[in-house]
Structure 1
Amino acid sequence: MDHLLFIETGFGIDVHGQDVTCAAVRAVRDAIHRNSMPGISRFLPDHDLNKMEVTIRLAVPKDKERVAIEKVKAEIPYGTVHVELMDGGMATPSGIVLKDKHDKNDLMYIVNASIEVGY
Protein backbone atom coordinates (compact mmCIF):
# COMPACT_ATOMS: atom_id res chain seq x y z
CA MET A 1 0.00 0.00 0.00
CA ASP A 2 1.58 3.26 -1.13
CA HIS A 3 -1.08 5.67 0.15
CA LEU A 4 -2.59 5.11 3.59
CA LEU A 5 -5.94 6.86 3.94
CA PHE A 6 -7.13 5.80 7.38
CA ILE A 7 -6.88 3.23 10.16
CA GLU A 8 -9.79 1.79 12.11
CA THR A 9 -9.51 -0.25 15.31
CA GLY A 10 -11.77 -2.63 17.15
CA PHE A 11 -11.98 -5.66 19.37
CA GLY A 12 -14.04 -8.81 19.46
CA ILE A 13 -14.76 -11.40 22.11
CA ASP A 14 -15.85 -15.02 22.00
CA VAL A 15 -17.10 -15.55 25.56
CA HIS A 16 -17.97 -19.23 25.10
CA GLY A 17 -16.61 -21.89 22.78
CA GLN A 18 -13.03 -20.64 22.50
CA ASP A 19 -13.51 -19.84 18.81
CA VAL A 20 -10.74 -17.45 17.83
CA THR A 21 -12.26 -16.92 14.36
CA CYS A 22 -15.51 -15.74 15.95
CA ALA A 23 -13.58 -13.23 18.07
CA ALA A 24 -11.54 -12.08 15.04
CA VAL A 25 -14.63 -11.53 12.88
CA ARG A 26 -16.26 -9.57 15.71
CA ALA A 27 -13.11 -7.44 16.02
CA VAL A 28 -13.24 -6.56 12.31
CA ARG A 29 -16.95 -5.77 12.51
CA ASP A 30 -16.35 -3.59 15.56
CA ALA A 31 -13.68 -1.67 13.67
CA ILE A 32 -15.78 -0.97 10.58
CA HIS A 33 -19.47 -1.03 11.49
CA ARG A 34 -19.79 2.55 12.74
CA ASN A 35 -18.23 4.14 9.68
CA SER A 36 -19.53 5.55 6.44
CA MET A 37 -17.02 6.83 3.90
CA PRO A 38 -19.11 8.26 1.07
CA GLY A 39 -16.19 10.15 -0.48
CA ILE A 40 -13.51 7.49 -0.39
CA SER A 41 -13.84 6.59 -4.07
CA ARG A 42 -12.61 10.11 -4.97
CA PHE A 43 -9.21 9.17 -3.55
CA LEU A 44 -8.89 5.76 -5.20
CA PRO A 45 -7.42 5.11 -8.64
CA ASP A 46 -10.15 5.36 -11.28
CA HIS A 47 -12.60 6.04 -8.40
CA ASP A 48 -12.91 2.25 -8.12
CA LEU A 49 -13.64 0.74 -4.69
CA ASN A 50 -12.09 -2.52 -5.80
CA LYS A 51 -8.71 -0.78 -6.16
CA MET A 52 -8.69 -0.19 -2.43
CA GLU A 53 -6.05 -2.06 -0.41
CA VAL A 54 -7.04 -3.26 3.05
CA THR A 55 -4.68 -4.70 5.63
CA ILE A 56 -6.25 -6.35 8.67
CA ARG A 57 -3.88 -6.88 11.59
CA LEU A 58 -5.20 -9.15 14.32
CA ALA A 59 -3.67 -9.56 17.76
CA VAL A 60 -4.71 -13.08 18.74
CA PRO A 61 -4.21 -14.59 22.21
CA LYS A 62 -4.22 -18.30 21.32
CA ASP A 63 -4.80 -20.69 18.45
CA LYS A 64 -3.56 -18.34 15.69
CA GLU A 65 -3.38 -21.34 13.37
CA ARG A 66 -7.14 -21.82 13.81
CA VAL A 67 -8.14 -18.39 12.48
CA ALA A 68 -10.19 -18.91 9.32
CA ILE A 69 -8.57 -16.17 7.25
CA GLU A 70 -11.18 -16.32 4.45
CA LYS A 71 -14.01 -15.71 6.95
CA VAL A 72 -12.16 -12.67 8.27
CA LYS A 73 -11.53 -11.34 4.75
CA ALA A 74 -15.20 -11.78 3.86
CA GLU A 75 -16.09 -8.99 6.30
CA ILE A 76 -14.52 -6.44 3.92
CA PRO A 77 -16.79 -5.92 0.89
CA TYR A 78 -14.36 -4.18 -1.49
CA GLY A 79 -10.74 -4.18 -2.50
CA THR A 80 -7.81 -6.48 -2.00
CA VAL A 81 -7.66 -7.71 1.58
CA HIS A 82 -4.58 -8.94 3.42
CA VAL A 83 -4.65 -10.43 6.92
CA GLU A 84 -1.71 -10.47 9.32
CA LEU A 85 -1.80 -12.34 12.61
CA MET A 86 0.33 -11.49 15.63
CA ASP A 87 0.54 -12.42 19.26
CA GLY A 88 -1.63 -10.29 21.51
CA GLY A 89 -5.20 -9.95 22.62
CA MET A 90 -6.22 -11.79 25.74
CA ALA A 91 -7.43 -15.15 26.96
CA THR A 92 -9.09 -14.59 30.32
CA PRO A 93 -11.50 -16.60 32.48
CA SER A 94 -15.20 -16.18 31.81
CA GLY A 95 -15.99 -17.62 35.21
CA ILE A 96 -18.11 -20.48 33.91
CA VAL A 97 -17.96 -23.50 31.61
CA LEU A 98 -21.12 -24.02 29.57
CA LYS A 99 -21.15 -27.35 27.77
CA ASP A 100 -24.19 -26.34 25.70
CA LYS A 101 -22.09 -23.46 24.32
CA HIS A 102 -19.32 -25.93 23.39
CA ASP A 103 -16.90 -24.63 26.02
CA LYS A 104 -13.71 -26.65 26.28
CA ASN A 105 -12.64 -24.62 29.31
CA ASP A 106 -13.60 -21.34 31.00
CA LEU A 107 -11.53 -19.05 28.76
CA MET A 108 -12.92 -16.24 26.65
CA TYR A 109 -10.84 -15.02 23.72
CA ILE A 110 -10.38 -11.33 23.03
CA VAL A 111 -8.91 -10.28 19.66
CA ASN A 112 -7.79 -6.76 18.74
CA ALA A 113 -7.99 -5.52 15.15
CA SER A 114 -6.32 -2.70 13.28
CA ILE A 115 -7.56 -2.13 9.75
CA GLU A 116 -5.59 0.01 7.32
CA VAL A 117 -7.26 1.31 4.18
CA GLY A 118 -5.51 2.90 1.24
CA TYR A 119 -4.27 2.13 -2.24
Structure 2
Amino acid sequence: MSSPKEPKISVVEIGMGIDLHGQNATVAATRACRNAIETNSLPGLARLLPNGDFSKMRIDVKLGVPLPFLNDVNVDVVQKQFPYGSVNVTIEVGGLVCSSGVVLEEQGDREGDDRAIIVVAAVAVRC
Protein backbone atom coordinates (compact mmCIF):
# COMPACT_ATOMS: atom_id res chain seq x y z
CA MET A 1 0.00 0.00 0.00
CA SER A 2 1.35 3.44 -0.90
CA SER A 3 1.76 6.31 1.51
CA PRO A 4 0.06 9.65 0.73
CA LYS A 5 3.34 11.18 -0.54
CA GLU A 6 4.36 8.18 -2.60
CA PRO A 7 3.33 8.21 -6.28
CA LYS A 8 0.41 5.92 -6.98
CA ILE A 9 0.73 2.80 -9.10
CA SER A 10 -0.43 3.56 -12.64
CA VAL A 11 0.47 0.32 -14.42
CA VAL A 12 1.18 -3.28 -13.36
CA GLU A 13 2.52 -5.83 -15.80
CA ILE A 14 3.40 -9.48 -15.16
CA GLY A 15 6.01 -11.49 -17.02
CA MET A 16 7.73 -14.86 -17.03
CA GLY A 17 11.24 -15.69 -18.16
CA ILE A 18 13.04 -18.98 -18.57
CA ASP A 19 16.66 -20.02 -18.87
CA LEU A 20 16.42 -23.52 -20.33
CA HIS A 21 20.15 -24.16 -20.40
CA GLY A 22 22.97 -22.69 -18.36
CA GLN A 23 21.15 -22.30 -15.02
CA ASN A 24 21.46 -18.50 -15.16
CA ALA A 25 18.94 -16.71 -12.94
CA THR A 26 19.86 -13.30 -14.38
CA VAL A 27 18.97 -14.47 -17.89
CA ALA A 28 15.60 -15.76 -16.66
CA ALA A 29 14.97 -12.54 -14.70
CA THR A 30 15.74 -10.23 -17.62
CA ARG A 31 13.51 -12.30 -19.88
CA ALA A 32 10.70 -12.06 -17.30
CA CYS A 33 11.05 -8.28 -17.20
CA ARG A 34 11.13 -7.98 -20.98
CA ASN A 35 8.11 -10.29 -21.21
CA ALA A 36 6.24 -7.95 -18.86
CA ILE A 37 6.99 -4.78 -20.81
CA GLU A 38 8.01 -5.57 -24.37
CA THR A 39 4.58 -5.38 -26.01
CA ASN A 40 3.34 -2.27 -24.18
CA SER A 41 3.04 1.28 -25.32
CA LEU A 42 1.87 3.60 -22.56
CA PRO A 43 1.59 7.06 -24.13
CA GLY A 44 -0.85 8.21 -21.42
CA LEU A 45 1.90 8.06 -18.80
CA ALA A 46 3.38 11.29 -20.11
CA ARG A 47 0.24 13.11 -18.92
CA LEU A 48 0.76 11.76 -15.40
CA LEU A 49 4.44 12.60 -15.07
CA PRO A 50 5.80 16.03 -14.13
CA ASN A 51 6.43 17.88 -17.43
CA GLY A 52 5.86 14.55 -19.25
CA ASP A 53 9.36 13.54 -18.20
CA PHE A 54 9.71 9.74 -18.37
CA SER A 55 12.83 9.90 -16.22
CA LYS A 56 10.48 10.76 -13.32
CA MET A 57 8.82 7.34 -13.45
CA ARG A 58 9.39 5.04 -10.51
CA ILE A 59 9.50 1.39 -11.48
CA ASP A 60 9.19 -1.29 -8.83
CA VAL A 61 10.20 -4.75 -9.99
CA LYS A 62 9.44 -7.75 -7.82
CA LEU A 63 11.06 -10.98 -8.95
CA GLY A 64 10.10 -14.47 -7.85
CA VAL A 65 13.27 -16.54 -8.13
CA PRO A 66 13.72 -20.20 -7.17
CA LEU A 67 15.48 -20.56 -3.81
CA PRO A 68 18.65 -22.26 -5.09
CA PHE A 69 19.23 -19.24 -7.37
CA LEU A 70 17.96 -16.44 -5.14
CA ASN A 71 21.36 -14.78 -4.74
CA ASP A 72 22.45 -15.25 -8.34
CA VAL A 73 20.44 -12.43 -9.96
CA ASN A 74 22.53 -9.47 -11.11
CA VAL A 75 20.24 -6.55 -10.20
CA ASP A 76 22.25 -4.06 -12.32
CA VAL A 77 21.57 -6.13 -15.44
CA VAL A 78 17.86 -6.39 -14.58
CA GLN A 79 17.59 -2.61 -14.07
CA LYS A 80 19.06 -2.01 -17.53
CA GLN A 81 16.00 -3.67 -19.11
CA PHE A 82 14.07 -0.47 -18.39
CA PRO A 83 14.92 2.51 -20.61
CA TYR A 84 13.32 5.16 -18.38
CA GLY A 85 12.81 6.00 -14.75
CA SER A 86 14.37 4.88 -11.51
CA VAL A 87 14.17 1.14 -11.05
CA ASN A 88 13.95 -0.61 -7.69
CA VAL A 89 14.31 -4.41 -7.75
CA THR A 90 13.29 -6.74 -4.94
CA ILE A 91 13.80 -10.46 -5.04
CA GLU A 92 11.88 -13.10 -3.15
CA VAL A 93 11.49 -16.85 -3.26
CA GLY A 94 9.25 -17.88 -6.14
CA GLY A 95 9.39 -19.15 -9.67
CA LEU A 96 10.14 -22.76 -10.48
CA VAL A 97 12.94 -25.15 -11.27
CA CYS A 98 12.16 -28.04 -13.58
CA SER A 99 13.93 -30.38 -15.95
CA SER A 100 14.66 -29.09 -19.43
CA GLY A 101 14.74 -32.74 -20.49
CA VAL A 102 18.25 -32.66 -21.83
CA VAL A 103 21.75 -31.60 -20.76
CA LEU A 104 23.39 -29.41 -23.39
CA GLU A 105 26.86 -28.55 -22.20
CA GLU A 106 27.46 -26.54 -25.40
CA GLN A 107 24.53 -24.34 -24.29
CA GLY A 108 26.05 -23.75 -20.86
CA ASP A 109 24.60 -26.62 -18.83
CA ARG A 110 26.93 -27.96 -16.20
CA GLU A 111 27.75 -31.64 -16.53
CA GLY A 112 24.65 -33.65 -15.62
CA ASP A 113 22.55 -30.53 -14.85
CA ASP A 114 19.36 -30.30 -16.90
CA ARG A 115 17.60 -27.75 -14.66
CA ALA A 116 15.61 -24.97 -16.27
CA ILE A 117 15.03 -21.82 -14.21
CA ILE A 118 11.73 -19.98 -14.37
CA VAL A 119 11.46 -16.48 -12.89
CA VAL A 120 8.32 -14.37 -12.66
CA ALA A 121 8.28 -10.58 -12.58
CA ALA A 122 5.70 -8.08 -11.39
CA VAL A 123 6.49 -4.62 -12.73
CA ALA A 124 4.68 -1.66 -11.19
CA VAL A 125 5.04 1.82 -12.67
CA ARG A 126 4.42 4.76 -10.36
CA CYS A 127 3.72 8.26 -11.62
Report the TM-score, using the length of structure 2 for normalisation.
Answer: 0.90
Q: Which consecutive residues of structure 2, in runs of 5 or more, have no partner in the other structure?
A: 1-5
Secondary structure of 1:38 counterpart: coil
For residues 53-64 of structure 1, what are the structure 2 equivalents within 5 Å?
A: 53-61=58-66, 62-64=68-70
Q: Which consecutive residues of structure 1, in runs of 5 or more, have no partner in the other structure?
A: none
Tell me the residue number matched to 1:97: 103
Report the TM-score, using the length of structure 1 for normalisation.
Answer: 0.96
Match of 1:116 among 115, 124, 127: 124
Aligned pair count reads 119
What does the per-residue CA deviation read over 1:38-74, in whole Å, with 9 as the maximum and x for residues that have no partner?
1211001222111100001000013121101011000
Match of 2:93 among 87, 106, 109: 87
Displacement over 2 Å in runs of 4+: none
Root-mean-square deviation (CA, aligned residues, Å) is 0.9
Over the matched positions of the two proteins, sequence identity in percent amounts to 40
Following the alignment from structure 1 to structure 2, what is the Cα–Cα distance between the partners of residues 96 and 102? 12
Secondary structure of 1:63 counterpart: helix
Secondary structure of 2:36 counterpart: helix
Match of 2:77 among 42, 57, 71: 71
